[in-house]
Amino acid sequence: MRLAQNVFLIFGLLSCAACAVTTSPETTSLSALIDAETSVVDREIADAGLYNGVLEPYATGTTTLLNPDVVTDELLMTVVHSAFTGPIEDLVSTMALETGYRVIAQGEKPGAPIMITLIQRDLPAMGALREAFFQGKERATLVVDQRAKTMTIVYSRPERSPVPHIEDTEV
Counting every residue written for the chain, the total comes to: 171
pLDDT, position 56: 52
d(CA 118, CA 97): 18
Average pLDDT over the chain, rounded to whole?
Answer: 75
Q: Which domain holds residue 48?
A: 30-169
pTM over the 0.85 mark = no
Q: In degrees, to the nearest 5, what angle opens at C-alpha 82 toward C-alphas 79 and 83?
A: 145
pLDDT, position 14: 64
Q: CATH number, domain at 106? A: 3.55.50.60
58, part of any domain = yes
How many domains is the chain partitioned into structurally? Answer: 1
User: Which residues in the chain show pLDDT less than 70?
Assistant: 1, 8-9, 11-28, 45-65, 69, 157-171
For residue 38, how far is the Cα from the chain centroid? 13
Predicted confidence (pLDDT) per residue in 10-23, tens digit: 766 666 655 555 66
pLDDT, position 102: 92
9, part of any domain = no
pLDDT, position 158: 59
